Each structure stands twice: as structure tokens, then as C-alpha cells.
Amino acid sequence: MDAPLVAENASRSFGVELAIDRLDLRVEESTIHAIVGLNGAGKTTLMRLLLGMLRPDAGTATIFGHQATSAPASIWARVGHLIETPFAYRELTVQENLMAAAILHGMDYRDAHLAVGRSITEFELGQWAERRAATLSQGNRQRLGLASALVHQPTVVVLDEPANSLDPAGVVFTREILQRLSAQGAAVLVSSHHLDQLARVADHISVMHRGSIVGQLDPSGTNLEETFFETVNTADAIRSKVAG
């Protein structure tokens, strides 16, 4: 059976810059798979490949066995994502944005209406339900983005720095959401700079550096930051030796 998200020997360049370099990754159902790396490691580019937003120059990026760039609408109805900027039409209210997200993911009006009500309650957006997205704080806009990504109860979830702009209560709330999604059977791919936060929820932590997966971290291990930098520095040393 095909895993929900798979990259096999995937590469992607932007001009002379190699952003993804022969990368392999597999994200299974009922799993939270975290990717960590320095700025520019290629995390967001990898997510865009897996979501069909970019085409690999070589190798493959698949979702439920389909090439991500040509997967049918029935597949995308099962996917929720937040990449870099939260989904929000500035002139629409919070409630209208959630309704748009639900319908765009294939829900009919009745189911979408019910889902929007659940999301407003779950994400504690009731106070701002009739507010236009343009007037929200960064933290509430992030909550709206998360709610929009998850309003249709997806079985594949891809979140790029989901706790950005959130206060400590929002960070804890996000962890609980990830755990619930995984418990319900979803395949979750998440990136973050905060190792301590990821370690509390992740089943797997992959270290990404210069467009490649260069190692794994044990979520239950100690000194994760030290191990992360050792992994990155070792990868650079090997790269230098090969180049030399």
C-alpha cells in the first residue's frame, strides 16, 4: 500500500541553486513526521514538491501513489496544508474564510456549514467570527490559517511552522491538534525551528540540510539541539571531503 506522502530521489533547482538534492522521505498514516533544519535547508521547497506546487527536476513526489503535480481532486479533498502564509482572503470574515476553505476542499454547503461551526469553536475564533481577516492580529490570523487547513478533517496534513506568531497557549494548542490528527489516522508532516516543541509530539524527526535528509533525531533523546548541530556539522564535513 502506498504511503500518503513519498519523495524518492527527488531533486529541484532554482537556476544554479540546488534546493532539493536526491531526497528520500516517507510519511506514513497515524504518524507525525517532523523536519528540522537551518534557514534555507529546503524544508518549504520539499513541502511544495509533495503538495504538487512545484515539479521535481528529477525523481518523484507522490501523494497516495499519485504524482503530486497530477493527483485528482478526490485526493486533494483529503489534504490540508499551511505553507508560509496562512490562508485568508483579507476582505472576508473569519467565518466566510472558513466556509470558502471547506467548499474549496469539496464539502457541500450543509457539511461545510457544520464544519465551520466546529472549527470556530475548536480554534476559539468565536469572538472574531464576523471580523474581516485583514483586521486580525498575526496570532489570530495564524489560528485562522490552521483552522482553514483542517476544517474538512483531512487525512494528510502538511504544516510549515504552524506555531508561528502564536502565544504559549497557542503553541500547546497546536501540539494537541497534531496529536489528535495522528491519533485519528492522519499522516502529518510538520516543520519547525523549535526542537523542544517537536520532540513532544513527533514520531520521527528528520534533519534536513542543504536540500538533503542528513540524519534522524530521537524524539525521546536528550540534548537534541547539540545532536542536531553535530548532525549538520558532520554532513558539512563529509561534503567538504567529497568536494576536495
Residue 95: its pLDDT value, please? 97
Residue 84: its pLDDT value, please? 84
Domain ranges of the chain: 1-78+157-166+184-244, 86-153
Q: Is the pLDDT of residue 244 over 70?
A: no
Show the CA angle centred on residue 54, arms to residues 52 and 56, nearest 5°: 100
CA dist 6 and 66 (Å) reads 10
**pLDDT level of residue 87 (50, 70, 90 thresholds):** confident
CA dist 144 and 100 (Å) reads 12
Q: Is the pLDDT of residue 100 over 90?
A: yes
**62 CB contacts (<8 Å, ≥6 apart)?**
2, 5, 6, 7, 8, 68
Query: Which grid cell is 118?
Result: 466546529
**pLDDT level of residue 165 (50, 70, 90 thresholds):** confident
Which of 2-6, 172-176, 187-191 has the largest mean confidence?
187-191
Q: What is the CATH number of domain 1-78+157-166+184-244?
A: 3.40.50.300
What is the pTM (predicted TM-score) of this model? 0.94
Task: Note the pLDDT tens digit of each residue in 209-243.
Answer: 999 999 999 998 888 999 999 999 999 998 887 77
3-state secondary structure of 121: helix
Residue 171: its pLDDT value, please? 87
135 vs 195, which has greater pLDDT?
135
167 vs 71, which has greater pLDDT?
71
Q: Find the DSSP H helices in 129-167.
A: 138-150
78-104 mean pLDDT: 93
Nearest to 19 by CA among 228, 233, 209, 243: 209
Task: Note the pLDDT tens digit of each residue in 19-42.
Answer: 999 999 999 999 999 999 999 999
Residue 145: its pLDDT value, please? 95
144-167 mean pLDDT: 93
Dihedral sign computed on CA atoms, order 112, 115, 117, 120: negative
| Architecture in CATH of 86-153 | Orthogonal Bundle (1.10)
Residue 74: its pLDDT value, please? 93
Task: Note the pLDDT tens digit of each residue in 47-75.
Answer: 999 999 999 999 999 999 999 999 999 99
